[in-house]
C-alpha cells in the first residue's frame, strides 16, 4: 500500500477530529475520500502531509512514517488544496522555474504541455489569477515531476464548470501513471476516475472498498404489486429508504445480488407483477449511506 493509516487519532483542542481512523490506499489507484463536512477528510490529508501530528496511531506514506517525510519522499508527492497558499508576487512562469530545481525528475516538456492544456498565462502574476486559475496553477506545479502520489484536497471547490472540466481532463490524462488520493464533495466529477472509495463519518472510516464492489452491491429497486404497496414490518438486510406509493414499493438495496433479491421478494411480498433494478451513481450511494449512518 502506498498509504497506510492505522488507528489514527487527532484533536484540535478538545475536539477529536479523527477517532481511530484506519484506511489503505493501493498503489496505482485513484482513491476517493468521501464524507460530510467535518467528517475528518482534510485532517486525514494534513496528517499524511505532516502538517498535523496525530496524538495516537500511525500514518505511512511511500513506506515512511508521515512524521519523518524527508526531501526524498516529498519529491515524489504532489499536493493541491483549495486553500493552498501560492507566492502571489511571482508570475506563473517564474513560479514553475522556481520549483524545477527541487525535483530531479521534472519534465519540462510535460510542463509546457500542461500549461497549454490548462491555458495558463505564464506572464501573469499569481495574485491576479482567479480562484480557478490558481487551482490550475497549483496542479501545474504538482504534475511535471511525475509524482508517485498526488494528494488533492477539495480541488473543485468554487470552480466553474469549464475549469472543472479542464482540471478533470488533466487528472484523466494522468490517471494510472500515479496514485491519486482525492477528497471532494463533487462526487459526480470524480466518479469516472475513481477506483477505490473510503467513507469517513465522525473521524472514522465506516467502509472502504473498490468502486466495482461498491457499485456492484448498490441498486435502486422498484417493485410493482397487484395491490397497494405497504412497507414490510421486517426489512431484509440492505434495504434502505423504503417508500410505498400506490402499488409501487421503492428502496435502495446496499447488499444487492440478483439471487438474494428474488428470494427476499418471494418471502415477504406477494402479488409482484414487475421488478425494476437500476444502478446508482456514486453521489446517490453516498447520500444513502450517509443518511443511514446519521440515523444510527
Q: What is the pLDDT of residues 182-197, one digit of tens each?
A: 988 777 777 888 899 9
Residue 73's pLDDT band, with cuts at 50, 70 and 90, is very high
- Average of pLDDT values for 54-81? 92
pLDDT at 175 over 70: no
Does residue 92 contact residue 84 with C-beta atoms inside 8 Å?
Answer: no
pLDDT of amino acid 31:
94
Radius of gyration of the chain from Cα atoms? 23
| Confidence bin at 99 (pLDDT 50/70/90) | very high
The Cα–Cα gap between 7 and 57 comes to 5
pLDDT for the residue 77: 94
**76 has pLDDT over 90:** yes
Which of 6-15, 165-174, 205-214 is predicted least confidently? 165-174
User: Each residue of 162-182: b (16+ CB within 10 Å) or e?
Assistant: ebbebbbebbeebbeebbbbb
- Output the CA torsion sign for 35, 40, 41, 42: positive
Q: 5 has which bridge partners?
A: 23, 59
**Amino acid 296: pLDDT:** 65
Q: Which residues contact 260 (CB under 8 A, 6 or more apart)?
A: none
**18-22: average pLDDT:** 90
- Tell me the pLDDT of the chain averaged across its residues: 87
Residue 38 region by backbone torsions, left for phi larger than 0, else alpha for psi between -120 and 50, else beta: left
pTM for the full predicted model = 0.86
Q: Which pLDDT band, with edges at 50, 70 and 90, does 5 fall under?
A: very high
Asked whether the predicted pLDDT for residue 124 surpasses 80, the reply is yes
The three state secondary structure string of 82-151 is CCCCCCCCCEHHHHHHHHHHHCCCCCHHHHHHHHHHHCCCCCCEHHHCCHHHHHHHHHHHHCCCCCCEEE
Question: For the segment 128-169, what is each residue's pLDDT rounded down to a tens digit?
Answer: 988 888 888 898 899 999 999 999 998 877 667 777 777 777
pLDDT given for residue 158 in this prediction: 67
Residue 293 has pLDDT above 80, yes or no: no
Q: Which three cell numbers stand for residue 221?
A: 429497486
**Residue 84: its pLDDT value, please?**
84
Amino acid at each position: 500500500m502506498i498509504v497506510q493509516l492505522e488507528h489514527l487519532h487527532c484533536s484540535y483542542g478538545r475536539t477529536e477530529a479523527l477517532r481511530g481512523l484506519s484506511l489503505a490506499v493501493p498503489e496505482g489507484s485513484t482513491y476517493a475520500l468521501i464524507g460530510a463536512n467535518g467528517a475528518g477528510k482534510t485532517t486525514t490529508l494534513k496528517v499524511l502531509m505532516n502538517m498535523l501530528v496525530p496524538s495516537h496511531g500511525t500514518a505511512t506514506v511511500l513506506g515512511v512514517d508521515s512524521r519523518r517525510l524527508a526531501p526524498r519522499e516529498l519529491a515524489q508527492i504532489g499536493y493541491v488544496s483549495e486553500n493552498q497558499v501560492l507566492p502571489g508576487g511571482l508570475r506563473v512562469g517564474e513560479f514553475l522555474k522556481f520549483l524545477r530545481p527541487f525535483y530531479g525528475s521534472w519534465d519540462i516538456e510535460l510542463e509546457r504541455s500542461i500549461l497549454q492544456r490548462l491555458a495558463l498565462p505564464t506572464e501573469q502574476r499569481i495574485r491576479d489569477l482567479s480562484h480557478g486559475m490558481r487551482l490550475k496553477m497549483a496542479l501545474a506545479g504538482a504534475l511535471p515531476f511525475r509524482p508517485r502520489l498526488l494528494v488533492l484536497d477539495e480541488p473543485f471547490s468554487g470552480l466553474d464548470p469549464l475549469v472543472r472540466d479542464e482540471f478533470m481532463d488533466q487528472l484523466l490524462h494522468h490517471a494510472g501513471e500515479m496514485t491519486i488520493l482525492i477528497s471532494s464533495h463533487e462526487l459526480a466529477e470524480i466518479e469516472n476516475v475513481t477506483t477505490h472509495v473510503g467513507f469517513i463519518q465522525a473521524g472514522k472510516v465506516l467502509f472502504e472498498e473498490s468502486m466495482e464492489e461498491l457499485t456492484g452491491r448498490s441498486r435502486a429497486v422498484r417493485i410493482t404489486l397487484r395491490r397497494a404497496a405497504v412497507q414490510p414490518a421486517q426489512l431484509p438486510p440492505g434495504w434502505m429508504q423504503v417508500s410505498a406509493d400506490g402499488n409501487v414499493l421503492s428502496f435502495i438495496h446496499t447488499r444487492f445480488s440478483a439471487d438474494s433479491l428474488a428470494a427476499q421478494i418471494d418471502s415477504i411480498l406477494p402479488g409482484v407483477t414487475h421488478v425494476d433494478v437500476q444502478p446508482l451513481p456514486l453521489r446517490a450511494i453516498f447520500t444513502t449511506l450517509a443518511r443511514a449512518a446519521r440515523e444510527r
